[in-house]
Amino acid sequence: MDFTLTSEQELLRETARRLLASDCPSSLVRAHLDDRSVAGPAGLWRQLSEWTELGAGPLVDLCLFVEETGAACAPGPFFATTVLYAPLAEALVDSSDPLVCVDTGTVALAGGAGEWTPNGEGIKTFVLDADLVDTVMFVVEGSTGLAAGAYPAERLSRREVATLDRSRRIFEVEVPSDLRTVAIDPELLEGLLERAWVASSAELLGTARWLFDQALEYAKQRHQFGRPIGSFQALQHKLANMALALERAWAATYYAAMTVDGADGQRHTAAHVAAAAARQAAHLCATDAIQIHGGIGFTFEHDLHLWMRRAYTTERLFGTADWHEDRLADLVFV
């Protein structure tokens, strides 16, 4: 399989990097912790909203863009809208529901166990940025099968759940009693979840890459005993392991994206492999980047904490590495 990016894909990635470098500095991420509007409709979203159509397009293109948002630790409703809401809204656009065609949205699916699997529970968990979006798309399982319905976010009963990453907030949302739904094909939901697993892996790749680059640069600049700390074998081993984990996760993620785009029979397996590899890489890079930075890495004033918190939180979204490996085992050992 050819992993070479086309000229259009190279341009897409470079455009994303330039946009986020200018419009999403770490100061904006920090400001977003206290004032959600700086990344909402009046802030960063104005720039990123022009790219939401990537959510309904090829997964490789979406991953290239989302990887850069992960490298910038971008806050706001872009991920929830593009990765989760857009593909589902695209499938329901003929349902005549005006709430489907809105600017921002998120999806409520996971139940009390936190697993993104269909259920009939009245409280949905792991609902991303429910305070920033216009609409929440509920996916429910009832007596007639799987169904989905959109509801105005401002009218919902929601409760924020405390997490490490305050730049991407998670909510518990009550399923409204007057929710109107339409039946959806289980294969539609399976495709949505496959895209979410792979796209979240791409975002984690960007986050992990930033953590690795910062750790590598610090290891070159920080001197101890008259030598750069990167010359010490113990740190060289850490950096080498981080680089290998990143390379493995990158290959797995973009292979999975290609299998999804090509409707390959192995796409479900590939998506689980990518999710597990990216989560392991992000966890390793976050943990070792803190260690390599030493004392300064433990202070919240250092930007490392923003990316570390994003890595630790996102690696548990859409299933942990262990959960994906268990699902992979179910597929392989049958």
From first to last of its 334 residues, what are the pLDDT tens digits of the chain?
Answer: 667 889 999 999 999 999 999 999 999 999 999 888 877 666 788 899 999 989 989 999 999 999 999 999 999 999 999 999 988 888 776 555 555 556 789 999 999 988 899 999 999 999 999 999 999 999 999 778 899 999 999 999 999 999 999 999 999 999 999 998 888 999 999 999 999 999 999 999 999 999 999 999 999 988 888 888 888 889 999 999 999 999 999 999 999 999 999 999 999 999 999 999 999 999 999 999 999 998 888 888 899 999 999 999 999 999 999 999 999 999 988 7
Q: Could you identify the residue written with the tokens 């399976």? A: 190
CA quadruple 191, 48, 67, 130: dihedral, nearest 10: -60
Instruction: Label residues 209-240 b or e (16+ Cβ within 10 Å = b).
Output: bbbbebbbebbeebeeeeeebbeeeebeebbe
Segments of 164-285 assigned E as strands: 170-174, 182-183, 223-224, 227-228
| Distances from the Cα of 170 to the Cα of 125, 163, 167, 181, 222, angstroms | 8, 8, 10, 23, 37
Q: Does 299 reside within a domain?
A: yes
Contact at 8 Å (CB) between 268 and 194?
yes
Q: What is the pLDDT of residue 226?
A: 84
Indicate yes or no: pTM above 0.75: yes
Residue 314's region, left for phi above 0, alpha for psi from -120 to 50, else beta, is: alpha
Q: Does 314 reside within a domain?
A: yes
Angle among Cα 103, 106, 109 to the nearest 5 degrees reads: 155
Tell me the residue range of the domain where 298 lies. 187-332
Q: What is the pLDDT of residue 217?
A: 95
Q: Does 45 reside within a domain?
A: no
Contact at 8 Å (CB) between 195 and 54?
no
| CATH number, domain with residue 213 | 1.20.140.10
Distance CA 193, CA 238 (A): 33
Q: Which residues contact 63 (CB under 8 A, 6 or more apart)?
A: 198, 199, 201, 202, 253, 254, 257
Q: What is the pLDDT of residue 301?
A: 87
Q: Does 68 reside within a domain?
A: no
Q: Does 28 reside within a domain?
A: no
Token pair belonging to 21 = 């470098």
DSSP 166: T
Q: Does 79 reside within a domain?
A: no
User: What's the number of domains the chain is made of?
Assistant: 1
